[in-house]
A and B are shown apart, each in its own frame.
Chain A
Amino acid sequence: MSTAARTTWLRELIRKPFFWGVIAIFALLALNVIKDPNYLALSVNPVNGNLVGNVVDILRASAPILMIAVGMSLVIATGGIDLSVGSVMAVSGAVAMVFMKDAGQSGSVGVALGAIGLALLVSAILGAINGVLVAYIGLQPFISTLIMMLAGRGIAKVITEGQNTSATNDPFRWIANGFVIGLPVVFLFAIIIVIIVGLVVRRSALGLMIEAIGINPKASRMAGIKPTGLLLTVYILSAVLAGVAGIMSVGTVMTVDVSRTGYQMELDAILAVVIGGTSLAGGKFSIGGAVVGALLIATLDKTIVFLGISSSATPAFKAIVIVVLCLLQSDRVRGWFVQRRKPPMLRTPSLPAEPKKQEVSA
């Protein structure tokens, strides 16, 4: 019976769309450990008591990806896509940097908060423009956000007058580089925000409605759901999260590089969402999956550097990992896997337990 319970548990786990993402993270970590047995070692910096280690670096690097991946998963769930997140990151970073550069006062918390507030406000406006184009004007999300992707970089350049802009502000820098009780602030922030978004989405009916309009917009409309407000909310949320990601991103070096900050991050976000098991066709989404996807991408980026894979081979290596992962996630390939597990499954007494997601059709 215990083996039966275990196989059921295993099977449940394998059915989770992000199962292979978790496996991939562990596989990559294992690869690093093979290169350096001390890879996972954490030490405490004797001076400031902060945790030091490769894993800590991965968590820090994953923070901005986490932000945009969570936003992206909601947008994709509605059946849309947000290509502008990378550009919004650049705009947000540019606004914050220029604001702080002009304000001076490198130690002022007020200046930092002002910069953050202004950056998020501008991000929200850009998101609202996306939302209006999609929800009210009825443009295709791909086109609307593509426009914003192009426009965003332009806006960032206008804000910074085309220059890479640096500023000094210790509280702001602390967000990306600081530590609290030994843990990196930026990751704590990211996780808190993810949890808040997750709670809001799942505890309210927002998640249900997003899924409903993503799965069947016509039926949702007939059920009285007004998609416009929802879409606007989702695109604003995505942009604000991208704004947070931008702040985290420029905060690490206190420089905004208008052509590189957030560059191609929309692709990372989309990948993270897909790895997490949310279908690009919209509908069901998984914030947990997006978190796994974001962590995987950060791990992958760091592994490439750690293993010393040559720059020219980097894209290929990344592509291979992601292709393998997507293959493992495909229903067909997963079918093979489950098939092989099937004989022992059949021997287990069919439990009266609630049959959850089996495909039963009359």
Chain B
Amino acid sequence: MSVQRRFSKFLGLAAVGALTVGLAACSSGGDGGSESGGDSGELTTVGFVAVGPEGAWREANETNIQDTFTKDAGFDLKYAPATNLDQKSQIDAFTSFVDEGVDVILLSATEASGWEDSLERAQEAEIPVILLDRGIEPDDTSLYVTRIAPDNVEVAKEVGAWAVEQFPDGGNYITLEGPAGVGVVNERNEGWNESVEGSALVQVAAQTANWSAEEGKSVTETLLKANGNDVQLIFAQNDEMGLGAAQAVEEAGLEPGVDVKIATIDGTKAAMQALADGQLSYVHEYNPLFGDTALDVVNKTLDGESVDSYIIVPSEAFDSAEAAQAVLADRKY
């Protein structure tokens, strides 16, 4: 999977005719081609150590950042996506930003651990580092300015709370998870369990569907049979799996939203549409659009103001067709 990412990046770069620059970026993690250098004397230089192609959410997120830190806004953003989600390429990019002496570094780490040395170097060079979305391990807040991210645990907790409220008399539920062992999956499980524990809801199965609609459908289809259709709730940890589950529920002769309620996290446009159509019952956004927050934090940091060490990006919950309908028109992702 990672290799194909590289390829799509490759294609993109080729398209803008920056093939050689792109190849260099793979190894040095330098200028990824979004900016062609030039005189940036009055501009604030921002190095963005990014994740790169990963999915719709990431794309919305990184595009949003790039659209925010524009030249018009007074920034020269150097975008350096990881090669193959490889941490080493990120560290290389990070180091070269430090050597270049950029004004501020934005970091979305592909892996949580192993950042201490790099962050210390940035600190010595007096370059502030702001974490976007992904945190680091161990979480030494003295090494960075702040982390801006929606909170997975918090979001999942809200979904759980909704579920408990919907089923005061209890019921059976299935959890559709992402790939085993991924941090997001653990966090979403953690938040959900926090709310659901002690309630009358019973988890009859938890199974990975690898974030995919097709697998979500296939897994749900079998789990429904394994439980004799005695399932009232499905918690899908992302939208795609939930959308697949909805189709499986229908094909099993059950009615989504009536017989089986489906709750998902992410809030993509397709999920909003499904919520509006009554296929899904609850969608919790996991807000990727926090460019403005980041811009604000960067400005404050450069002005010497202090900010909180963790800024939670607010995410909205949608629990009705009407609510979904209202935002559908200008949903960006």
Hey, what's the 0/1 contact readout for B200-226 against A, CB within 8 Å counting as 1? 000001111011111111110111011
A153–B7 CB distance below 8 A? yes
Contacts of A306 in B (CB 8 A): 222-223, 225-226
Interface residue from B56, B208, B223 paired with A311 (Cβ < 8 Å): B208
A154-B10, A305-B223, A311-B180 as given contacts; A259 in contact with B240, CB under 8 Å: no
Chain B residue at minimal CB-CB distance from A315: B180
Contacts of A263 in B (CB 8 A): 1, 210, 212
A4 proximal to B (CB < 8 A): no
Contacts of B251 in A (CB 8 A): 177
A36–B226 CB distance below 8 A? yes
Contacts of B206 in A (CB 8 A): 310-311
B177–A47 CB distance below 8 A? no
Contacts of A329 in B (CB 8 A): none
A302–B56 CB distance below 8 A? no
Chain A residue at minimal CB-CB distance from B250: A177
The interface stretch among A9-17, A155-163, A204-212, A343-351 is A155-163
B226–A308 CB distance below 8 A? yes
B138 proximal to A (CB < 8 A): no
A261 proximal to B (CB < 8 A): yes
Contacts of A152 in B (CB 8 A): 4
Chain B residue at minimal CB-CB distance from A155: B11
B56–A163 CB distance below 8 A? yes
The interface stretch among A125-133, A134-142, A247-255, A334-342 is A247-255
B212–A154 CB distance below 8 A? no
A164–B56 CB distance below 8 A? yes
Q: How far is the CB of A258 from chain B (nearest CB, A)?
A: 9
Q: How far is the CB of B172 from chain A (nearest CB, A)?
A: 13
For the complex, give the distance between the alpha carbons of A305 and B177 in Å.
12
Q: DSSP class of A's interface residues: helix, strand, loop or mixed?
A: helix
A253–B226 CB distance below 8 A? no
A257–B205 CB distance below 8 A? no
A36-B226, A47-B253, A57-B221 as given contacts; A253 in contact with B180, CB under 8 Å: no
Q: How far is the CB of A55 from chain B (nearest CB, A)?
A: 10
A255–B226 CB distance below 8 A? no
Contacts of A158 in B (CB 8 A): 8, 11
A57-B221, A151-B7, A260-B215 as given contacts; A253 in contact with B177, CB under 8 Å: no
Of residues B206, B223, B225, which shows the largest number of chain A Cβ atoms within 10 Å of its Cβ? Answer: B225
B329 proximal to A (CB < 8 A): no
A57–B212 CB distance below 8 A? no
Contacts of A154 in B (CB 8 A): 4, 7-8, 10-11
A61-B218, A305-B226 as given contacts; A150 in contact with B7, CB under 8 Å: yes
A8 proximal to B (CB < 8 A): no
For the complex, give the distance between the alpha carbons of A302 and B225 in Å.
11
Contacts of A157 in B (CB 8 A): 8, 11, 53
Contacts of B225 in A (CB 8 A): 53-54, 57, 306
Contacts of B211 in A (CB 8 A): 260
Hey, what's the 0/1 contact readout for A251-285 against B, CB within 8 Å counting as 1? 01101010111010000000000000000000000
Contacts of A54 in B (CB 8 A): 222, 225
A92 proximal to B (CB < 8 A): no
B287 proximal to A (CB < 8 A): no
A255–B213 CB distance below 8 A? yes
User: How many residues belonging to B are interface residues under a CB distance threshold of 8 Å?
Assistant: 43
B196 proximal to A (CB < 8 A): no
Contacts of B8 in A (CB 8 A): 153-154, 157-158, 162
A150–B4 CB distance below 8 A? yes
For the complex, give the distance between the alpha carbons of A36 and B222 in Å.
13
For the complex, give the distance between the alpha carbons of A312 and B208 in Å.
9
A87 proximal to B (CB < 8 A): yes
B16 proximal to A (CB < 8 A): no
For the complex, give the distance between the alpha carbons of A165 and B11 in Å.
20
A166 proximal to B (CB < 8 A): yes
B243 proximal to A (CB < 8 A): yes
Which chain B residues in 1-36 approach chain A with CB under 8 Å? Answer: 1, 3-4, 6-8, 10-11
B258 proximal to A (CB < 8 A): no
A87-B4, A312-B181 as given contacts; A257 in contact with B212, CB under 8 Å: yes
For the complex, give the distance between the alpha carbons of A52 and B96 in Å.
60
B55 proximal to A (CB < 8 A): yes
B181–A259 CB distance below 8 A? no
B1–A162 CB distance below 8 A? no
Contacts of B205 in A (CB 8 A): 308
For the complex, give the distance between the alpha carbons of A259 and B53 in Å.
10
B4–A257 CB distance below 8 A? no
A153-B7, A253-B214 as given contacts; A305 in contact with B219, CB under 8 Å: yes
Which chain A residues in 165-182 approach chain B with CB under 8 Å? Answer: 166, 177
Interface residue from B6, B208, B218, B222 paired with A314 (Cβ < 8 Å): B208
B110 proximal to A (CB < 8 A): no
A216 proximal to B (CB < 8 A): no
For the complex, give the distance between the alpha carbons of A154 and B53 in Å.
11
For the complex, give the distance between the alpha carbons of A348 and B13 in Å.
72
B47 proximal to A (CB < 8 A): no
A45 proximal to B (CB < 8 A): yes
For the complex, give the distance between the alpha carbons of A28 and B177 in Å.
24
Chain B residue at minimal CB-CB distance from A310: B206
Q: How far is the CB of A272 from chain B (nearest CB, A)?
A: 17
Contacts of B59 in A (CB 8 A): 162
For the complex, give the distance between the alpha carbons of A314 and B177 in Å.
13
B270 proximal to A (CB < 8 A): yes
Q: How far is the CB of B62 from chain A (nearest CB, A)?
A: 11
Chain B residue at minimal CB-CB distance from A87: B4
Q: How far is the CB of B67 from chain A (nearest CB, A)?
A: 16
For the complex, give the distance between the alpha carbons of A301 and B209 in Å.
11
For the complex, give the distance between the alpha carbons of A57 and B220 in Å.
11
A255–B243 CB distance below 8 A? yes
Q: Which 3 pairs, one residue from A and one from B, show the smallest C-beta to C-beta distance?
A: A153-B4, A311-B208, A260-B212
**Between-chain CB contacts (< 8 Å), 7 pairs:** A47-B253, A57-B222, A158-B8, A253-B213, A253-B217, A305-B223, A311-B208
Given A263-B1, A301-B218, A305-B207, 17 further pairs, Cβ under 8 A? A36-B226, A57-B225, A61-B218, A150-B6, A153-B4, A158-B8, A253-B216, A253-B243, A255-B243, A255-B270, A257-B213, A257-B214, A260-B214, A305-B219, A305-B222, A306-B222, A310-B180
